[in-house]
Amino acid sequence: MMHHSLSLPNPTLSARPLSQPLRPRLHRIHAVSTTVAAPRRETDPKKRVVITGMGIVSVFGNDVDKFYDRLLEGENGIDMIDRFDVSTFPTKFAGQIRNFNSEGYIDGKTDRRLDNSWRYGIVSGKKALENAGLGLKTEAFNKINKERAGVVLGSGIGGMSAFSDGIENLIGKGVRKMSPFFIPYIITNMGSALLAIDIGFMGPNYSISTACATSNYCFHAAANHIRRGESDIILAGGTDAVIVPSGMGGFSACRALSTRNDDPKTASRPWDIDRDGFVMGEGAGVLVMESLEHAMKRDAPIIAEYLGGGVTCDGYHMTEPRSDGLGVSSCIQQSLQNAGVAPEEVNYINPHATSTPLGDLAEVNAIKQVFKNTTEIKMNGTKSMIGHCLGAAGALEAIATIKAITTGWLHPTINQFNIEPSVEIDTVPNKKKQHQVNVGEYLYL
C-alpha cells in the first residue's frame, strides 16, 4: 500500500492564535454572507482545547524554533542516505536524521535497544512537556492529576528496524537469537506506552495508525477526550522511522518514491510539473493539548487553539486518489463545521503536498471546491524540505502551521520551477512571505 493514498481516511484540523479568548478578531475575518448562519464556535473553557507545548525530532534537529527558522530560510534537509548501502536501490536519498542524541531523555541501556521510531517519539514528547512548563522534575508537573493525563502517539508503520533486525536474526541465526524485545518494539502502540511509562500518565493511552494521516487522527482523538471531560491534558502526535533497507525497498517497489538520484535536493517539488514521487523522511512531533480551563489554572503558556477536525474516507482505490478530490473536500467541510469556522475565515493551508503526480492535483481540486475564492489564501509544502515523514508528517506540519500562526511568517515551498497551471493558489514559491494568519488549516490524505 502507498501510505500517502487518498483511499485512506482524511483528517483536517484547524487552529488559530488565542489572541482573544472568547471570539476571533473580527477585522481579520473576510466577509461572510448574512444569508448563511455562521458556524457556532465553542465557548466553554472546559471544552475549548489549547496547545501549550510542542516537541520535535527532525532532520533539522530537536528544537522547534530552529526547525522553523531553517524552514523559513528554505534550507533543504534531503541528502544521500549513508545509514546503509543503497548502491542497488532505485532511490538513494532521503530526509535522514543524522547525529541524533537522546541523552537526558532516555537512559543509555534502554536507548540501545529501542527502534528509532520510539526514540524519536519519547524525546519529542518530553521536549513538548518542557516547552509547556511541565518538565518532569518541576512542581507544575507534579501537580498534574496523572489519572486525567494521557498519551495518544501514533505511528504509521511501527518499529520497522526492530522488525527487520528480528527477521534477519531469525532467518540467519535461528529463533534463539531473536531479541525478547522483538514483539514489544515492533507494535505501533509502543510509542505511547513507553512515553506514558516514563512520565507516569495514566489516562487514555493508545496509538492510531492511519498511514500519512496518523498524527491528525491522534490530535482529533485527544481533543475529543478533553471535550468529553475524560482528560485534562494529553500528549498527542506521531513518530516514524523507516529509512532502513526494508522501508526504502518496499516504497521503491511501490514506485512511490522520486528517483532523482542525480539531484536529490530538487527531488521533492510539490505542484511542479516535473515531480516524480515523494521523498522519504523521518522524525516525530508532539503537541501538549489541554482544556483551556486546565491551562489557565496552571497559568500555562498558551500557544494556539485547536478548533476542530474532520474524518472521511475516499472509498475509492488503494493507491489512486479521486481526481475530483471529493473525499478531501467533504472532510474539509466537516472540519470547518466541527471547528465553528466559515470558509472565508481561513487564509492559510498547510496541505499534504507530497510531490506525487496525482495526489497534488487532487488535493488542490478539493481546496478549490470548498474555498471558492482563494485569492487571500496561501499554502506551502513543508515536505519540499524535509520529505514525507509518514505517521509523523502531520505532527511536524502541525508545528509548522502553529509557527506560521504565531510568527506571521510562512516558509517557502522550495523547488518551484514550473508550477502546474491549474494550481492558481499562492504556494509561497522559493522564498518566505509575511502573512497574518487568521485561521490555519492543515490537511492529511
CA distance 361 to 116: 33
The amino acid occupying position 321 is P
Question: What is the spatial distance between Cα 296 and Cα 256, in angstroms, rounded to a whole number?
Answer: 46
What distance in Å separates the CA atoms of residue 56 and residue 239, rounded to the nearest whole number?
Answer: 10
Cell numbers given for 237: 502526535
Q: Are 278 and 354 in contact, with CB atoms under 8 Å apart?
A: yes
Q: Which three cell numbers stand for residue 163?
A: 522488525
Beta strands in 76-203 (DSSP E): 79-80, 93-94, 149-154
Residue from 294, 388, 411, 435 carrying the catalytic annotation = 388
**Pairing mode, if any, of strands 93-94 and 409-410?**
unpaired
Strand 439-443 relative to strand 12-16, pairing: antiparallel
Asked whether the beta carbons of 443 and 12 are under 8 A apart, the reply is: yes
Q: Which of 339, 359, 250, 400 is nearest to 10 (CA)?
A: 359
Q: Measured between alpha carbons, how far is 53 from 66 in angstroms, rounded to an integer? A: 15
- Look up 388 and say whether it is catalytic: yes
- CA dist., res. 52 & res. 248, Å (int): 35
Answer for the pair 240, 208: CB distance below 8 angstroms, yes or no: no
Q: How many whole angstroms separate alpha carbon 18 and alpha carbon 12?
A: 19
Is 277 in contact with 271 (CB distance < 8 Å)? no
Type of residue found at 373: N
Which one from 352, 389, 411, 435 is the annotated catalytic residue?
352
Cell 536501490 sits at which residue?
89
Q: Phi/psi at 350 (nearest 5 deg)?
A: -105, 100
Q: Which amino acid is at 344?
A: E
Q: Is 212 annotated as catalytic?
A: yes
Identify which of 238, 296, 231 has the alpha carbon closest to the alpha carbon of residue 13.
Answer: 238
Q: Is 352 a residue of the active site?
A: yes
- Rounded to whole angstroms, the Cα distance separating 392 from 56 reads 10
Query: Which member of 3, 212, 220, 294 is catalytic?
Result: 212
Structural contact between residues 425 and 378, judged by C-beta atoms closer than 8 angstroms: yes
Ramachandran category for residue 427: left, alpha or beta (phi over 0 → left; psi -120 to 50 → alpha): alpha
Cβ atoms of 330 and 369 within 8 Å: the answer is no
Question: CB 142: neighbour CB atoms within 10 A?
Answer: 11
Catalytic residues: 212, 352, 388
